[in-house]
Chains A and B, each alone.
Chain A
């Protein structure tokens, strides 16, 4: 192996800061262990757009995207071998996040839970699920919570194990037939959403900078970013009684690493994300670490709310995508004028 290696990590929008921190530490470790110095290139953007770039020829060694569906699309294009999601622990998602609310200081509209979002007069800023991973998680969170989806406490080993077993044994998904969830979703997007931004960061800017809306519905890490950027005296985070486990997965792009000869370092890089040291960095950047100890340490910032998983409740990404977000699927139907 050469003494130098170059890795391109193609990632989604909010992970800029996270991977800048992790790359520095990984490079140090890898150099000490193997003598190879690694330099990184990072690319960030909307999750689907990034996936499309890789499909269209961007030579990414690893992809770290916002939703499994986008990596599945790369897999279907023949660049990643099937079974990538079983290669690394926890669905190949070394860190997670969830969907929460950001409200204006003092919570003037008294937003406490999902049902408050569909109250008349409450305006919610959320991106378009067709153009952003965060928005798709938010849609699923609202749907699942309304349908009383079964949740887990994912801050304990037992909870993590239960969730995984439940996901594996889940066979039918009654949540899709839930009429109340459908009605709530339809009402919500038609009456309570004044603007649909194309991405998570755009929605944060609309809410925090342009001062539009009463609630921002977004990734937990994005809510924290708004607090850090715009001031804790302006906003506060509200956690609903339950939400979805957002799993942004990672994968090695087999086609690329085999050609470039970077498989070893790329695989080591993704495995490194699961080490206690990386998990600590993950938590500092307001993502939820899988590591139970790290999670406990940061539980005052990221309270252990009950979470449901896409695999157990919705049967995984391809099914959810087909039912909700594909061309002409439910999300399009919401906005179809009644015939």
Chain B
């Protein structure tokens, strides 16, 4: 373990050095800029909180999946499909419904769309023994193109001066925000509630126990007579549904319309993978970790503007953090015994 701490430290030092050598911007200035913009002002803090909401929702779902060693890498696509579901309800199904009903149905639709998107890797894993990593990733790329197709094609609004936007949501389909910030607090409260709910689910329920058994030893779980297929489906539906909720929050809480995929999510679904692991796959711990990474995203926007660094810098930092996490053995796979043959 102590060996790994040195590995982690040298990774960070080398990474920071690399940023300096390539960009010519001093690392202390970069980090100061990130921290000040994310946590140094009231506005910064509210933005950090806003960006932590989707990370929280995605991260909570992923923690359940990763705990059962089901590698859902598709939160990004599930989030986007959740956004599509919410937009469909808000603009085409029941735009005139009263606010409470409309928002409830939008969240439900978002969860269902996200869950359905995660159902594809689930069913292919069960029926075709296909690796969920590759399938869920392919589904991300497909979801991105679906969103872009919709906003450039059939759902494009004629009233947006040629921007690839859908029509603006009716006011009843907009999630209320806290004062004049962008914190769409009902989504935040939902995320906090779900963190507690999933925590209890994992700790106390039968499903939680099954998840633990499968995660530690899939083969043994099979011999113990657990219905692995059913559990795989349930877990993927759960994590997909949570990511879908995050998508609803983004379009209904922030943008108030569907827009191109990269405008809805700067990669929340991928960042949430790191959030989940750094949060030790514990939904409660994921709350503070989400705040940290929300701050990193805010800082990432800021260093693009103020220091002229490319947006990819944050990707690089994320990669470093993930290596750090891994080397620390948060996720040591020594506990996983052999998976069966034929697992493609």
Genuine A/B complex: no
